[in-house]
Amino acid sequence: MGGTQENIELLANQEYKYGFVTDIEQETVPPGLSEEVIRLISTKKNEPEWLTEWRLSAYRHWLKMKNPEWANIQFPPIDYQAISYYSAPKMKDGPKSIEEVDPKLLETYEKLGIPLRERGILAGVAVDAVFDSISVATTFKAKLAELGIIFGSFSEAVQNHPDLVRKYLGSVVPTTDNFYAALNSAVFTDGSFCYVPKGVRSPMELSTYFRINARATGQFERTLIIADEGAYVSYLEGCTAPMRDENQLHAAVVELIAHDNAQIKYSTIQNWYPGDKEGKGGIYNFVTKRGKCLGVNSKISWTQVETGSAITWKYPSCILQGDNSVGEFYSVALTNNYQQADTGTKMIHIGKNTKSTIVSKGISAGHGKNSYRGAVKILKGAAGARNYSQCDSLLIGDLCSAHTFPYLEVKNSTAQVEHEATTSKIGEDQIFYCQQRGVSQEDAISMIVNGFAKQVLRELPMEFAVEAQKLLGVSLEGSVG
Amino acid sequence: MEGLQPLRRGIGPQRLKPQFQRHEFGTVQTVPLQHLGTDFAIASRQKEQTVNPMLKITNLQVSAAQREILRGVDLEVKAGEVHAIMGPNGSGKSTLAQVLAGRDIYNITAGEVLYEGKNLLALKPEERARAGVFLAFQYPVEIPGVNNLYFLRAALNAQRKFRGEEEYDAMDFLELVSEKMKLLAMDSSFRERPVNVGYSGGEKKRNEVLQMAVLEPKLAILDETDSGLDIDALRVVADGVNALRRKDRAIIVVTHYQRLLNYIVPDFVHVLLHGRIVKSGGKELALELEEKGYSWLEGQLVGA
């Protein structure tokens, strides 16, 4: 079977497909973090005074905070003064239409499989493209505006809809929430903003594609999505970054607000550069995502496929405040080589008859370390609350690990909480069985892993489910030898 | 070195004599086959008399974890033939089946396996499958979350793609599978159920034969396909296999009970004992074994 071994090695050395760098003139502020830098960012973005102050208060609080150490991840201390907090491709005044966007940028997104030009555009998906610190283009904007849907960059929203931004910014994730959220609040540069008005159902998927390009920068995006009464929106984010030997920090904050009878479906395909097979380089993905089911019968559903990043620290959560509101978390987290992931969710049941579902699928290969961390809190007033949690781990090889840290806190005796967990190992016998039927080893692993993750993948919008399946296969190449 | 195959030159109208090849001083002599098995075997035999065997195993020696399992196996199988390999537990039957399919947990220390004239042992398991070698597993493996229909289509399409044939789309494939399932009296719910997950022993074996029916191999190796089956299930599985007997397909049935061979009647029976084929014969040999057990053959190993 010498041939198999060679093939595996070949595949293991296969490069991360999105690891290229776009050669474009960028404006980057010198590394370092201070009130001055924050004011500079705020000025560059022509922000109102209240927002500058909001940033500064977050910064002052951050200075007093400590990096959280409870997560099951290891990394050397980050030098926050060595990071540049703003980097943007040079553009005159920001493009008015796609035609004005630098062709190099358009080309970059085309290479990533996200065409932004109207003719190549993904049918049925509106895309906001964020490149390092700024949004460079948003497609289908006008079409969405006809329905009253506001979708575009966060910076634009600050200019054009300051009241909405001011009303909701920090209402789900306060500036003081945690170390990385505080940092993000101080220095966030761009991200997406979406508002779906009363009774409107977004006719297409909205999405943001995040791209890190510049060296030694951090990406700190801020996304805010509001679904007003009876509104529905399905939103998807994707992300990639160049291959570099040094680690880069990505600390984002996402806030979702669902009013009465509103629904938000938020899907993530996270494919930041994971580092090389020795664990060198890669993105630190330290993200705070939280949704608030503010209104009655509202629903927020998180689906994430986490295959990239050197380290993922992320807990998309739901605050179930409105009666009968529903929170869901579907996750596939894959760690190969030396990747680490500590990810899960918090479901906080406040309203009556609130319901939450957690399905977490962790896949570990190589030296990967994969932890599920989840909290289910049922508060006193949450009569009739229900939670179902399932977390399964799949191990590939002998060097990886899977960990589960579930926390339950139930303060209402009428609540029902269920938790199921399994750990299994992908067997040589499974792979051989598939091979004996004519399926190659790589396809066999991909098939087995996709079977394991199916429950989560089927929650993804159709357009992306296929992409996610392929990604799982690619991310595992070379993991069995 | 050869073990103790009862090798006789085929002269006259003798029946039920296996066709063997033997190395003698570097030359290969083929024993002609005069005996005849089933009806369709007659046609194939006549036609194939001058044709090379589909599978030719010569002095195959295999060990695992420092233990010798196969100690020089010789076997020839031609298209259209059904061979039964019998033997007690631990005699190496399943190892032989697994080695032919390409399981890489064994060390092949000597010998050669030619399949359609090519070195089978140099091929990866999936390459062997694509070349038409099929193993019905003794313990079919569970693959959670992957439904049967999807799995089968992926397998068939991988093979067809390799052969430069058009791949099946979902609709055409559904039709094909539904037809094959009727053959095995399988409920249509099997299509959507995950591969082997929660199946009874009989369902798993039936599923193996379904895969064989869909993949249409040239050489099918059935490893203890009868184990764990009650008599009704055994009959269904055997009927399924019999329906797949063809003059261009060879079948090797590995079993340690004669029972299955009442339903799948072999052309040849070989007894594997301590890693060698110690006796070969016609279907009657199976009955003889049923009566006498394997111990009467032990004596033949002395001096081997």
pLDDT digit string (tens) for B136-194?
Answer: 999 999 998 899 999 999 999 999 999 999 999 888 999 999 999 988 888 888 888 99
- Residue A92: pLDDT over 60: no
Nearest to A440 among B126, B145, B151 (CB): B126
Under the banding of pLDDT at 50, 70 and 90, the label for residue A120 is low
Packed helices A441-457 and A2-12: angle between N→C axes, nearest 10 degrees: 50
Q: Name the residue with higher pLDDT: B99 or B233.
A: B99
Q: List chain A residues with CB under 8 Å of B167.
A: none
Total domains, chain A: 1
Q: Going by DSSP bridges, is the β-strand pair A282-293/A253-258 parallel, antiparallel, or unpaired? A: parallel
- Residue A187: pLDDT over 90: yes
User: Is residue A139, in this structure, part of any structural domain at all?
Assistant: yes
CA A471 to chain centre: 15
Q: Could you give the percent of chain A with pLDDT greater than 70?
A: 85
Task: Please list, in sequence order, all residues whose beta carbon lies within 8 angstroms of the beta carbon of residue A220, skipping any fewer than 6 positions away.
Answer: A85, A133, A183, A184, A187, A188, A189, A250, A251, A252
User: Is residue A481, in this structure, part of any structural domain at all?
Assistant: no
> CA-based angle A21:A27:A29, to the nearest 5?
110
Element housing B266 (H / E): none
**What pTM value is reported for the model?**
0.79
Output the six-digit token pair for B52.
């090379």
Interface check for B103 against chain A (CB to CB < 8 A): the answer is yes
Q: Does domain B21-140+199-301 have CATH number 3.40.50.300?
A: yes
Amino acid A480: pLDDT:
58
- Residue A173: pLDDT over 50: yes
First to last CA, chain A: 11
Task: Please list, in sequence order, all residues whose beta carbon lies within 8 angstroms of the beta carbon of residue A411, skipping any fewer than 6 positions away.
Answer: A377, A378, A379, A380, A382
- Contact, A435 vs A443, CB < 8 A? no
User: Is residue A138, in this structure, part of any structural domain at all?
Assistant: yes
pLDDT tens-digit series, residues A403-440: 999 999 999 999 999 999 888 888 888 999 999 999 99
Coil vs helix vs strand at A54: helix
Q: Do B140 and A433 touch (CB under 8 A)?
A: yes
Residue position matching structure tokens 């042992």:
B121
Bridge partners of residue B118, in order along the sequence: B115
Q: Do A427 and B141 touch (CB under 8 A)?
A: yes
- Residue B36: pLDDT over 50: no
Amino acid B190: pLDDT:
86
Looking at A156-165, A175-184, A203-212, B130-139, which range is the least confident one? A203-212
DSSP state of B197: T
Indicate the average pLDDT of chain B: 83
Q: List chain B residues with CB under 8 Å of A447.
A: 143, 146, 151, 154
Q: DSSP for B56-85?
A: EEEEEEEEETTEEEEEEEEEEE-TT-EEEE
Nearest to B143 among A4, A441, A451 (CB): A451
User: Is residue A480, in this structure, part of any structural domain at all?
Assistant: no
- Distance (Å, whole) CA B120 – CA B103: 12
- Distance (Å, whole) CA A419 – CA A378: 14
Amino acid identity for residue B210 in this structure: L
- Residue A93: pLDDT over 60: no
Tell which of A4, A429, A435 to mutate to test the B interface (max B CBs under 10 Å): A435
- Distance (Å, whole) CA B80 – CA B245: 7
- Distance (Å, whole) CA B136 – CA B243: 16
In this structure, is the dihedral angle defined by the CA atoms of residues B158, B162, B163 and B164, taken in order, positive or negative?
Answer: positive
Amino acid A57: pLDDT:
96
Nearest to A438 among B137, B143, B159 (CB): B159
Under the banding of pLDDT at 50, 70 and 90, the label for residue A216 is low
Q: Name the residue with higher pLDDT: B275 or B51.
A: B275
Element housing A350 (H / E): none
Interface check for A425 against chain B (CB to CB < 8 A): the answer is no
Give the CA distances from residue A362 to residues A87, A341, A408, A423, B102, in Å, rounded to whole numbers and listed in that order. 34, 9, 20, 9, 31
- Distance (Å, whole) CA A186 – CA A182: 6
Amino acid B29: pLDDT:
38
Looking at A204-218, A276-290, B6-20, which range is the least confident one? B6-20
Indicate the average pLDDT of chain A: 85
The number of residues making up chain B comes to 304
Residue in chain B closest to A443 (alpha carbons) equals B154
User: Is residue A152, in this structure, part of any structural domain at all?
Assistant: yes
Question: A429: closest CA among B138, B200, B219, B203?
Answer: B138
- Contact, A86 vs A28, CB < 8 A? yes
Amino acid A118: pLDDT:
58
Q: Do A447 and B102 touch (CB under 8 A)?
A: no
Closest CA of chain B from A428, distance in Å: 10
Nearest to B144 among A4, A441, A452 (CB): A452
Question: A319: closest CA among A264, A395, A393?
Answer: A264
Mean pLDDT of the region A132-136: 66
Q: Do A438 and B146 touch (CB under 8 A)?
A: no
Element housing B26 (H / E): none
Best mean pLDDT range from A126-135, A201-210, A293-302, B29-38: A293-302
Domain that holds residue A18: 2-475
Residue position matching structure tokens 């599920």:
A372
Amino acid B5: pLDDT:
41
Output the six-digit token pair for A365.
């290969």
Q: List chain A residues with CB under 8 Å of B141.
A: 427, 429-430, 432-433
Under the banding of pLDDT at 50, 70 and 90, the label for residue A179 is very high
Q: Name the residue with higher pLDDT: A354 or A96.
A: A354
For chain B, the structural domain boundaries read 21-140+199-301
- Residue A319: pLDDT over 90: yes
Q: DSSP for A80-112?
A: TTSSBS-EEE--SS--SSGGGS-HHHHHHHHHT
Amino acid B210: pLDDT:
94
Task: Please list, in sequence order, all residues whose beta carbon lies within 8 angstroms of the beta carbon of residue A325, skipping any fewer than 6 positions away.
Answer: A258, A293, A295, A296, A297, A298, A299, A300, A351, A354, A355
Closest CA of chain B from A269, distance in Å: 21
Question: A234: closest CA among A322, A328, A135, A153?
Answer: A328
Mean pLDDT of the region B66-79: 94
Mean pLDDT of the region B202-230: 92
- Residue B221: pLDDT over 90: yes
Bridge partners of residue A292, in order along the sequence: A257, A319
Task: Please list, in sequence order, all residues whose beta carbon lies within 8 angstroms of the beta carbon of residue A68, skipping any fewer than 6 positions away.
Answer: A178, A179, A180
Q: Name the residue with higher pLDDT: A206 or A232.
A: A232
- Distance (Å, whole) CA B87 – CA B279: 10
Q: Do A439 and B155 touch (CB under 8 A)?
A: yes
Query: How many other C-beta atoms are found inside a 10 Å radius of the C-beta of residue A120?
Result: 11
Q: Do B126 and A438 touch (CB under 8 A)?
A: yes
Interface check for B130 against chain A (CB to CB < 8 A): the answer is yes
Looking at A45-54, A269-278, B280-289, which range is the least confident one? A269-278
Q: Do A428 and B105 touch (CB under 8 A)?
A: yes
pLDDT tens-digit series, residues A437-470: 999 988 898 888 888 888 888 888 776 777 777 7
Radius of gyration of chain B (CA): 19
